[in-house]
Amino acid sequence: MSIFEKAAERVTRRIAQQSSRRGFLGRLGMLLVGATAIPLLPVARASSAGGPSRVPPQTTGNLDDPGDPSTCDYWRYCGIDGFLCSCCGGTQNTCPPGTEMSPLTWVGTCRNPADGLNYVISYNDCCGKSSCGRCLCNRNDDDLPIYRPNANNDINWCMGTTNVYNCSTAVILGLGPAE
C-alpha cells in the first residue's frame, strides 16, 4: 500500500470520528458516515446457503470476491443493516429495477477473506419502493471499528430521495486500512 493511501486513510478515519454526519456532509458534500438505519431485530441472519430449493449457494463468479451475496455472512455485509438487494432484484452493489440509490449512506470496513485485505464498503440504500422484506441481515462486526454510529444511527437514509426504503447494497469504495 502506497504512502498516499496510508495518509488518506488516517485522515479519513479521523474526520469520521470527529465530525458529526451533518457537518461532514455540509462541508464536503461527499460520502457520509451514518447508518442505513432500519430498526431491526438485533440478530437477523438471512437464511444460509441452499434455501428452499436446496441448490448450492451462489457466488459472484469472481474468486477475489468469494461467498454468496444472498446470505448474511457474505464478507461485505459486516456492517449492513437491512434487506439484501441481492434478494430483491438487485445485486450486492446494484439496486433493484425502478428504485433509486441513496447518495447518503453508512460506510464500514470489512475484511475480504480472499486476500486478507480490508475494504471500505458503502451501504447505499435503494429507495422508492416499499420494503423488500427478504433476506433481512444485521451485522455489527466490531473487528475494525473505523466508523462508529452516532446518536442518530436509526435515521432512514432514504430521506434524501423518495423516503421509502427498499433494500441495502454494499458497494466497494476502496481499500481500507491495514490491520
User: Which residues contact another protein (rule: CB under 8 A)?
Assistant: 2, 4-5, 7-9, 11-12, 15, 27-28, 30, 51-53, 55, 58, 69-70, 86-91, 93-101, 103, 119, 122, 124, 126, 129-135, 171-175
Question: What's the closest the beta carbon of residue 51 comes to another protein, in angstroms?
Answer: 5
- Cβ proximity to another protein, 77 vs 119, nearer residue: 119
Alpha-carbon Rg of the chain, whole angstroms?
Answer: 16
CB-wise, 64 or 142, nearer to another protein?
64
Distance of closest approach, residue 33 Cβ to another protein, in angstroms: 14
Find out whether 120 and 164 touch, Cβ atoms under 8 Å: no
Dump the DSSP string for 155-171. Answer: --GGGGTTS-EEEE--E
Q: Smallest distance from the beta carbon of 179 to another protein, in angstroms? A: 17
* CA within 13 Å, CB half, 133: 3
Q: Are strands 125-127 and 165-168 parallel, antiparallel or unpaired?
A: antiparallel
Catalytic residues: 106, 125
Residue type, 40: L
Between 86 and 138, whose beta carbon lies closer to another protein? 86
